[in-house]
């Protein structure tokens, strides 16, 4: 019985390693194959960029959704859906037709690949931990540690949403500040139109910040 459990753990570990490797190796292979794809499918430079970035965009945008689905549907089921969808989309990318539809076909299924990878990515470590982690619960291990707040009430409201709002606000404004640097460097060549564009851009950001402030999103506790 113990040998069967040990063999099962090894198989789970091998499957998890294969699934993670599949996601990263696929992206590397596509990036290396882009020059040949451009010749064979007559891709535009913009289309080539979308084939690479569409996958990464879908993966990063749906990452949190993958974790939520793992909670709702179950970790094992989410992994199976992610692996199956990823493999099907990979096959459809390999079956890209030539002609004018080829570029749109490739981009669409690369984005879907990224979406299924987003289901896999957060669920894989959870499944691996479920089978591989030692089961030695102690009161200290089961105590609350997130942000130092003691959990009160139902488990679904342990984590205060304000922390997510703070994190998103910091990420958004950090990224927008980075966008200002190339604009400032090239300002002399851009002229009045770019100044107006940037003023509108900053006004939208300020409006979003004021809205978050009015809604109480910036109140820590």
DSSP track, 189-202? HH-HHHHHHHHHHH
User: Taking the CA of residue 169 as centre, how many other CA atoms within 13 Å lie in the half-sphere pointing to its CB?
Assistant: 19
Over range 115-139, report the average pLDDT. Answer: 71
Average pLDDT estimate for 9-30 = 74
d(CA 102, CA 94): 11
Quick check: 120 and 82 in contact, CB under 8 A? yes
Q: Are residues 83 and 54 in the same domain?
A: yes
pTM of the model: 0.54
Q: Which domain holds residue 194?
A: 152-214
Pair 124, 43 in one domain: yes
- pLDDT number for residue 120: 77
pLDDT tens-digit map of 160-169: 666 777 777 7
Domain count of the chain?
A: 2
127 and 196 part of one domain: no
Question: Mean pLDDT, the chain, as a whole number?
Answer: 76
Out of 82, 99, 132, a domain closes at: 132
Q: Which segment of 27-31, 115-119, 131-135, 167-171 scores lowest on mean pLDDT?
A: 131-135
HSE-CB at 120 with a 13 A cutoff on CA atoms is 26
Cα separation, 172 vs 174, in Å, equals 6
Residue 139 located in a structural domain: no
* Dihedral (CA of 35, 40, 45, 48) sign: negative
Residue 138 within a domain: no
């Amino acid at each position: 019985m113990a040998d069967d459990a040990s063999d099962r753990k090894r198989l789970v570990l091998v499957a998890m390693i294969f699934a993670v490797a599949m996601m990263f190796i696929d992206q590397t292979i596509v990036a290396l194959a882009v020059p040949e794809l451009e010749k064979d499918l007559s891709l535009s430079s913009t289309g080539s960029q979308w084939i690479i970035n569409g996958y990464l965009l879908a993966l990063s945008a749906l990452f949190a959704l993958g974790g939520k689905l793992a909670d709702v549907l179950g970790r094992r089921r989410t992994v199976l859906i992610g692996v199956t969808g990823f493999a099907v989309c990979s096959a459809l990318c390999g079956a890209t037709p030539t002609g004018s539809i080829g570029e749109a076909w490739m981009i669409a299924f690369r984005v879907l690949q990224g979406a299924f990878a987003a289901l896999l990515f957060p669920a894989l470590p959870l499944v691996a931990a479920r089978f591989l982690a030692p089961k030695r619960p102690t009161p200290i291990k089961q105590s609350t540690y997130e942000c130092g707040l003691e959990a009160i009430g139902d488990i679904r409201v342990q984590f205060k949403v304000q922390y997510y709002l703070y994190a998103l606000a910091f990420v958004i404004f950090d990224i927008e500040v980075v966008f200002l640097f190339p604009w400032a460097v090239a300002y002399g060549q851009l002229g009045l139109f770019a100044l107006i564009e940037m003023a509108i851009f900053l006004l939208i950001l300020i409006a979003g910040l004021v809205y978050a402030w009015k809604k109480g999103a910036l109140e820590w506790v």
